[in-house]
Amino acid sequence: MKPAYKPVLCVVSSHPIKGASGVPTGFFLAELTHPLKVLEDAGIKTTIASIRGGQPPVDGFDLSDPVNAWYWNETDFQQRLATTPALSELKGADYSAVFFAGGHGTMWDFRDNQDAQRIIREVYESDGIVSAVCHGPAALVDAKLERNASVAQIAIAWAIAKGTLPLVGATKVHHVLDAACASDIQLRDEEIILLEQLAAETRVDTRGAWEKPMV
pLDDT digits (tens, 9 = 90+) for 30-55: 999 999 999 999 999 999 999 999 99
Residue type, 78: Q
1 pLDDT exceeds 50? no
Helices (H) and strands (E) in the chain, counts: 8, 6
Band (pLDDT 50/70/90 cuts) for residue 215 is very low
150 pLDDT exceeds 80? no
Q: ∠ CA 139-62-134 to the nearest 5 degrees? A: 25
Model confidence, pTM: 0.76
133 with 102: CB under 8 angstroms?
Answer: yes
30 with 59: CB under 8 angstroms?
Answer: no
